[in-house]
Structure 1
Amino acid sequence: MFKKYDAYKDSSVEWIGNIPAEWSLKKISHVFRNIGSGTTPLSGSDIYYKNGSINWLQTGDLNDGYIDETSKKITEKALRHYSTLKQYSKGSLVVAMYGATIGKVGILNIDTATNQACCVLGANFGVDIKYYFYMLQGFKADIIRMAYGGGQPNISQETIKNLRLPFPDLSTQHEISKFLDQKTSEIDQAIAIKEQQIALLNERKKIVIQQAVTQGLNPNVAMKDSGVEWIGQIPEHWEIDRLGTILEPISKKGYEDKQLLSITREKGVIVRDIKDDSENHNFIPDDLTNYKLIEAGQFGMNKMKAWQGSYGVSAYTGIVSPAYYIFRFIKPIYPEFFHWAIRSKLYVSFFGSASDGVRVGQWDLSKDRMKQIPFVFPSLEQQKTIADYLTQQSELISEGIKQYSAQIEKLKEYKTTLINDAVTGKIKVA
C-alpha cells in the first residue's frame, strides 16, 4: 500500500479531483514560456524536402517516450519560406493535437521543426519535464474529451495552454518522475512479454495451419514430392492441381438489396457496417447495381490486395465491389478446407508472385497467372477432418490470445491509474 499526504484540498478541476493541501495548480502557459507548433511545406516540392537536413516532426513520430529521430527532414529553404516553421530545442515536450494520434506525447532528444498538428511546450520555468510528460500521458483521455470535431477530433493550442494542472515543488516533481520511471518500466516490460507471447501464438497458428493443409494430420503417412519447390513434400495419396481447374469465375450483378460485404486481409470476407466510419474509409456509391453477388461458400478476392492475403471463402451471401473477383468451385472441394489452405502464409506468397505493380502503392492480380497457382488437397472426407481440426485449434489459440490481451489491458489500466495517482498526489511516493 502506498502512503498518503497529510491533508488534501479540492483542485476545482473535476477530472483531477483532490490534491495535497500544499500543492498548487498552474496553467500550462504559466509553466512553459515557448508554446507553438509549425506547418507543412508544400507536399512533393523537392526544394523543401530533397536532401533536407533539418528534423521535421509529425504526430506519427510521437511514441509516448523520447524522440530520437524524425521520419522526414526539410531543407533550409523551407525554414526561410515558411515563417511559421521554427526549430524547437531538445528537452521540449510535444503533444499531438489532431487525428488518430491525438493526445500522444513525446520528449525531444533532438532539435526539430514540426508540422501544424504538434504542440510543443518548451523553455520551461525550472520544472521537471518528465513530471509534465507523465501528467499529460496520464490524463490523455480527459484531454481528448475536450476535443472538438467529428471523425477527426482536434484539440487546440489554446486548450493546452489553459490546462490547469497540479504543481508540487521541484523536489517532489523529481521524486514522482523517478518513481514513475521505475514503475512504468516494470509495467512496460510485463506488457512486452505478453505481447511476445501473443506473437508466438500467432506464429504457432500459422505453422499449425500450413502443416495441416500441406502435410495432413498423420505424421507417419508416406510422403511424395509435390513437384513444387514452395510446397515441398505432401502425403502420397493427395492430389495437386491448378486453381484454374478448381475455380470458375462468375459475375452476377444488380443485387443492391443484399448486405454489403468486404474482403479483408485479417479475416477474409466480412459483413461491412456502413454506419461504422472506421470500416468505411473507401467510397461507397449510392447506386450499388454494379456490385457483384457472392454467395455463401463461394471464393472471393480483392484483386488489388490479393498479394496481401485479402481473399477467402465467404460465410455470407451479399454484394461486394465490382473490383473483386468471385469464383465457384467446379471440383469436390470442402469450402472451409479451401479457406484455411488458401489463406495460409504459403499461398500469400503465390498470390504475390501473380500480382503486378500498377502504380506506387497499388497492385493488380493477373487472373491468368492466378489460374496456374498449384493447390494440394486430400480426399473430401480428409478435407473436412482437417478443417474441423483447424477450427478447434484456432479457437484454442484465439482464447490464449484473448487472455493475454485482457491481461495487457489490465496492465495498461493499472499504469494509467498509477500515473494519475502519482502526479495528483493521491499517493505519496517518497
Structure 2
Amino acid sequence: MKDSRVPWIGSIPVFWEMRKISRSFSVIGSGTTPSTSNSSFHEEGSIPWVNTGDLNDNFVIEPKKKLTEYAFKEHSTLRLYPIGTLLIAMYGATIGKVGILGVGACTNQACCALAEPKNFEMRFVYYWFLDNRKNLVTLSFGSSQPNINQDLIRQLRIQAPPIPIQRCITAYLDEQTAKIDRLINMRRRQMELLKEQWAALIQQAVTRGLDPDAPMKDSGIPWLGEIPVHWKKTKLLRIAPRGRGMFVNGPFGSDLLTSELTDSGVPVVYIRDIQANGYLRVSEVCVTPEKAASLDVCRVDAGDIVVAKVGTPPGTAAIYPDTEPSGIVTQDVIRIKTDPRKVVAEFIVYWLNSDAGRASIDQISVESTRMRVDLESYKSLRIWLPPVEEQRKIKEFIQNETAKTNDLIASYARQLTLLAEYRAALIHECVTGQRTVDETSLS
C-alpha cells in the first residue's frame, strides 16, 4: 500500500494511481433553468431536463421535467449529455447525490455532468462518489445553503486502478449491491405489509369486535357494512360529559395573538404534534400561566383526546399523554374530554384513526387551502359503540397487537440499518483497494 495523499482516502495499493477529475473527463459541465414564467420553454417539452430531485444514486431514466426545442436553442448553457453521463448534485440537501443518465438529457445548474471518461470506467467513478458523499459535504461552502461547484469537483483527486481492475470492481459491486438492495427492498415491503395488517386488524376490531360469532346487523352505511347487534349508534358529541368546555377547539383571532406566544410556560398544542401513532410534541411554543388561565376552556389535560382539524387527511386523533403538562390547544386542534362511564378514550382514538373513521371524517371534510373539518360537523359525527367493558377489551387487544407489530418493525428497521452500513462499507473497501477484487471474485 502507499499513501494517496488525500486524507479521507488514506492508503491505496501501490500500483493504483491518483488522478484529478479535470484531467480525467473530456466533458465537464452543467446546465441552467429557463424562466418558468415563459411557457414556451416548458409546455409540451420533449427534451429530458434533469434536476437534482431526479438523482437517486441510480440510473436516471425518466426525468420529471422536459424542455422545448425552443428553450434549448435560446440557452447556450444547455447541453444534451449522452447516455452514461454521471451527474452529481451540487446544492443544498442533495449535495453528492448521483445518477447515471439512461437517456440523453440536459440539466439545471445544480447538477455537474461528467462524460467521456479517460482511463476510467464510469461505474467506478459512480461508486467513488457514493463512497465520498460525506467528504463532499465537508468541502461545501455557504451559510444558509451549503453548496459545492464545478471547480471544486474538477480539483478532486480520485484513485485509479488499472482499467481491468476497475471493471472487476464495478462488476463485483453491481452484483453484491444488487443482492443487498433486494434484501433491503424485501424488508421494506415486509414493514409495509405489517403496517397494512395492523391497520386491517384495528379496522376489524373497532367495527366488528373480537367475537367472530357475535350476531351482526346492517349498519346502514355501505362502506361500513355489518356491525354487532348490541352496538349502539351515537353522536360523537355524546361521548363527552355535559358542561361547558368539554368538546372545544382552540382560541381564534385576537383571543391568542402571535405576540403572546413565549418560549417557556404552558405548552401550546399544534396539529403537527398529533400523529396517528400517538402524541409527540415537536412544537416549542408556549404561553404564560396568566394567558393560559384566561384560556382555561381550551386547556388539554392527560387522557384527553386531541384531534387535528386540518391535514391530509384531517381528523388524526391521539391521546394527550400523562408525560406532558397541561397545555392549551390552538384553533386547528379539537380537544375532547370523555365520559369514562360511556367510553374508553383509547377506543375512540382507534376508531377515529381507522379506515372506518377516516371514511366518516371524509364525509364532513371541506377543502380550502387544505382539507379541514369544522367543530360542529365533527360533534355530529356518528359512531357505533360497544359497551364500555367491551371497548376496554378491544383497547387492550389492539395495544398488545400494536406492541408485537412495533417490535417486528423495529427489528426490521435495525436490519435495514445494518444492511445499509454493510453496503457502504463494501463500496468503500472496494474503491479504496482494501478488499482485493478480481475475476475470481465474480460469481
TM-score, normalised by the number of residues in structure 2: 0.85
CA contact (8 A) 1:249 1:328 kept: no
CA contact (8 A) 1:260 1:271 kept: no
Distance 1:332-1:134 versus aligned 2 partners, 3 A rule = same
CA–CA distance in 2 between the matches of 1:194 and 1:303? 34
Distance 1:120-1:311 versus aligned 2 partners, 3 A rule = farther
1:413 matched to 2:412? The reply is no
1:327 is aligned, of 333, 336, 339, to 336
Distance 1:49-1:356 versus aligned 2 partners, 3 A rule = farther
1:189 matched to 2:182? The reply is yes
Letter in 2 for 1:11: S
CA contact (8 A) 1:307 1:349 kept: no
Q: Which residue of 2 aligns with 1:162?
A: 155
1:118 to partner: Cα distance: 1.5
Distance 1:350-1:84 versus aligned 2 partners, 3 A rule = farther
Q: Which residue of 1 aligns with 2:243?
A: none
SS in 1 for 2:368: strand
CA contact (8 A) 1:262 1:269 kept: no
2:352 is aligned, of 328, 342, 358, to 342
SS in 1 for 2:436: coil
1:308 to partner: Cα distance: 5.0
1:53 matched to 2:46? The reply is yes
Distance 1:150-1:265 versus aligned 2 partners, 3 A rule = farther
CA–CA distance in 1 between the matches of 2:335 and 2:359? 20
Distance 1:426-1:273 versus aligned 2 partners, 3 A rule = farther
Distance 1:426-1:266 versus aligned 2 partners, 3 A rule = farther
Distance 1:78-1:370 versus aligned 2 partners, 3 A rule = farther
CA–CA distance in 2 between the matches of 1:17 and 1:286? 54
Letter in 1 for 2:414: A
Distance 1:150-1:201 versus aligned 2 partners, 3 A rule = farther
CA–CA distance in 1 between the matches of 2:363 and 2:49? 37
Letter in 2 for 1:310: T
1:208 to partner: Cα distance: 1.3
CA contact (8 A) 2:250 2:329 kept: no
SS in 2 for 1:383: helix
Stretch of structure 1 that moved more, 18-27 or 371-380 = 371-380
CA contact (8 A) 1:262 1:270 kept: no
2:410 is aligned, of 372, 397, 402, to 402
- State the number of aligned residues: 412
CA–CA distance in 2 between the matches of 1:403 and 1:151? 37
1:181 to partner: Cα distance: 0.7
Q: Which residue of 1 aligns with 2:281?
A: 271
Letter in 1 for 2:352: I
Stretch of structure 1 that moved more, 363-372 or 211-220 = 363-372
CA–CA distance in 2 between the matches of 1:241 and 1:151? 53
1:297 matched to 2:303? The reply is yes
CA contact (8 A) 1:306 1:352 kept: no
Distance 1:78-1:286 versus aligned 2 partners, 3 A rule = farther
CA–CA distance in 1 between the matches of 2:188 and 2:60? 23
2:140 is aligned, of 136, 147, 154, to 147
Stretch of structure 1 that moved more, 42-51 or 123-132 = 42-51
CA contact (8 A) 1:41 1:82 kept: yes
**Structure 1: unaligned runs, 5 residues or longer:** 1-7, 275-283
1:192 to partner: Cα distance: 1.2
1:164 to partner: Cα distance: 1.3
CA–CA distance in 1 between the matches of 2:166 and 2:8? 20
Stretch of structure 1 that moved more, 151-160 or 202-211 = 151-160
Q: Which residue of 1 aligns with 2:267?
A: 259
1:309 to partner: Cα distance: 5.1
1:266 to partner: Cα distance: 4.8
CA contact (8 A) 1:58 1:117 kept: yes
CA–CA distance in 2 between the matches of 1:379 and 1:323? 31
**Structure 2: unaligned runs, 5 residues or longer:** 241-246, 439-443
Distance 1:34-1:300 versus aligned 2 partners, 3 A rule = same
Equivalence map 1:18-417=2 (5 Å): 18-149=11-142, 152-246=145-239, 248-251=247-250, 256=261, 257-263=265-271, 264-274=274-284, 293-305=299-311, 307=313, 310-315=316-321, 316=324, 317-329=326-338, 332-359=342-369, 362-417=370-425
CA contact (8 A) 2:140 2:146 kept: yes
Stretch of structure 1 that moved more, 44-53 or 173-182 = 44-53
Stretch of structure 1 that moved more, 102-111 or 320-329 = 320-329
CA–CA distance in 1 between the matches of 2:317 and 2:35? 38
Stretch of structure 1 that moved more, 176-185 or 27-36 = 27-36
Stretch of structure 1 that moved more, 145-154 or 399-408 = 145-154
SS in 2 for 1:297: coil
Letter in 2 for 1:324: V
CA contact (8 A) 1:312 1:342 kept: no
SS in 2 for 1:307: coil
Q: Which residue of 2 aligns with 1:281?
A: none
CA–CA distance in 1 between the matches of 2:329 and 2:38? 38
* Identity level (%): 33
CA contact (8 A) 1:32 1:121 kept: yes
CA–CA distance in 2 between the matches of 1:84 and 1:37? 8
TM-score, normalised by the number of residues in structure 1: 0.87
SS in 2 for 1:421: helix
Deviation digits for residues 169-209 of structure 1, max 9, x if unmatched? 11111111111111011111111111111111111111111
1:219 to partner: Cα distance: 1.8
CA–CA distance in 2 between the matches of 1:381 and 1:151? 56
Of structures 1 and 2, the one scoring higher in RCO (CA 8 A, sep 6+) is 1
CA–CA distance in 2 between the matches of 1:240 and 1:127? 71
CA contact (8 A) 1:265 1:308 kept: no
Distance 1:158-1:125 versus aligned 2 partners, 3 A rule = same
